[in-house]
Amino acid sequence: MGTKVRNIRMTQTKQSLINAFVNLVNEKDFEKITVADLTKGAQVNRATFYAHFNDKYELLDYIVDESASAVIENRTLGVVKFDKERIHELVLAVCDYHQQPNIQCRRSYLSLIPQLKDKMLVELKNYLSKSFDAIYTDEEKSFYVPIYANIILEAGYLWASGASSLDKETVAKKIATFILGDSSRVILQG
């Protein structure tokens, strides 16, 4: 079998497993989902599942990792720059990321939050580190990157969790201004 055909089948199988996971996590808690549930939902056998993933945690890791980088890529349009527009888009990316898992089972979503936040934090740090290349030394980057990444992550998460009554555009604008400054004072109220 040709490499191209094998790659297409692998991609289709992974997508089937991802779809099965998303459907299942809407019905029951993540901890109660089994590999048997996933293979049944994807209509593949166990050996096929294990050819792609070691366990359901690796599948979840794959899904979360792919979506974190994709949402940043979509929001920034691939432009890596440290400016208000990009900070604004990074906050919106975090908002989108936490809205993305359409998980009706609230306990399941709550159990996934630490993993979701960890993956997004890694992606934010990667983006910011690249955007700082022409601005800061390595020592300065190691100081500023985690600070800015955590501010952006927490702002988007607080909005997504309903802890803020502000709309996400306003949150993003205020955080971009907070990080990069402005001649007018930043007030975190509507």
User: How many CB atoms within 10 Å of residue 167?
Assistant: 12
Residues 90 and 155 in one domain: yes
pLDDT in the model for residue 147:
96
Residues 62 and 86 in one domain: yes
Residues 162 and 72 in one domain: yes
Residues 43 and 67 in one domain: no
Residues 183 and 103 in one domain: yes
Per-residue pLDDT of the chain (190 residues), as tens digits, is 445 444 555 678 888 998 898 888 778 878 888 999 999 999 999 999 999 999 988 888 887 777 888 899 999 999 999 999 999 999 999 998 877 655 444 455 556 677 778 889 999 999 999 999 988 999 999 999 999 999 999 999 899 888 888 999 999 999 999 999 864 444 444 4
Residues 46 and 82 in one domain: no
Q: What is the CATH number of the domain that holds 157?
A: 1.10.357
Question: pTM for the complete prediction?
Answer: 0.72
Residues 126 and 63 in one domain: yes
Q: Which domain holds residue 170?
A: 55-190
Q: Residue 188 in 3-state DSSP?
A: coil
pLDDT in the model for residue 107:
54
Residues 180 and 135 in one domain: yes
Residues 44 and 122 in one domain: no
pLDDT in the model for residue 110:
57
Total number of domains constituting the chain: 2
Residues 104 and 39 in one domain: no
pLDDT in the model for residue 122:
93
Q: What is the CATH number of the domain that holds 16?
A: 1.10.10.60
